[in-house]
Amino acid sequence: MTQDVVIVTGAAGNLGRAVLARLAADHYRIVAVDRETLSLEAALSAVAGEDHLPMAGVDLMDSSACDAMVQTVLSRYGRIDGVVHTVGGFAMAPIADANPGLFESMFKLNALTTVNIFRAVAQPMRDAARGSLIAMGAAPGLKASADMAAYAASKAAVHRIVEAFADELKMHGVRANAILPSIIDTPQNRAAMPDADHASWVAPDTLARTIAFLLSDGARDITGTLLPVSGRV
């Protein structure tokens, strides 16, 4: 039971909605960030609690937009206790044939957004001497396979960003970790892979519970971790 304030990016997505439900059930106050107003409002309307803040249209690739969002949150609540950054992108292409723009796109969606949101909350968390930063990594960021160069490289960058933030902030009581899911069981993934063994995939609720643990005081000694949550894949 807590009244901590947590920013959840990509809040209207499949994982984001599961995180909203888990954190609302644990009585967090949630700052829900997503691109579209209607989908964000629908996601928040489905969870318990009233002291949540929807923030639609924030460009996480713009550092000044992230700074402005953080100031809005501090003006309302006076604190930021955690960030769950679920925003990112995925694309596949053979490295020899990939448009160079694919690499730029993957790095912006995955690595740059992580840097921007973590950097924006770092000082308030240092001042409070507490906080938990959680990013979404990926197994290909540890070892790439065919057609995954751009995506894998961008996720490897996310891993290094998390490790660096963890090392820089640990003496200030701020933690940073990444979760590395395998295939997440979403309607989109089921449609794309109808013949796969969906029971072996990771449910969004499982990831949300893992995220809730990393936010909690029970994980106060865990930082700089790249945590695989891979189901039976």
Q: Note whether 23 and 48 are within 8 A (CB).
A: no
Statement: residue 55 has pLDDT above 80: yes
Q: What is the mean pLDDT of residues 112-121?
A: 98
pLDDT at 1 over 60: no
Is the pLDDT assigned to residue 215 strictly greater than 90?
yes
Q: Which of 12, 74, 80, 22 is nearest to 44 (CA)?
A: 12
Which residue is associated with the tokens 């930063």? 133
CA-nearest of 4, 12, 20, 149 to 80 is 4
Residue 165's pLDDT band (cuts 50, 70, 90)? very high
What is the residue-averaged pLDDT of the chain? 93
What values do phi and psi take at 2, rounded to 5? -150, 160
* Mean pLDDT, range 189-196, rounded to an integer: 84
| Domain range summary for the chain, segments of one domain joined by + | 5-178+204-221
0.85 surpassed by pTM: yes
Task: Give the residue with greater pLDDT, 80 vs 49.
Answer: 80
pLDDT at 49: 84
pLDDT band at 219 (very low <50, low <70, confident <90, very high): very high
pLDDT at 17: 95
**Helix, strand, coil percentages, rounded to 5, for the chain:** 50, 15, 35
pLDDT at 190: 80
The predicted-structure confidence for 62-94, as pLDDT tens digits, reads as follows: 999 999 999 999 999 999 999 999 999 999 899
pLDDT over 90, % of the chain:
80
Average confidence (pLDDT) over 22-51: 93
Looking at residue 133, its amino acid is L
Q: What is the pLDDT of residue 186?
A: 81
Using a pLDDT cut of 70, give the percent of the chain over it.
98
Residue 135 pLDDT > 80, yes or no?
yes
CB atoms near residue 97 (< 10 Å): 8
Average pLDDT of the residues in 205-214: 96
Residue-level pLDDT at 94: 92
pLDDT of residue 97: 84
pLDDT given at position 129: 97
5-178+204-221 belongs to which CATH class?
alpha beta
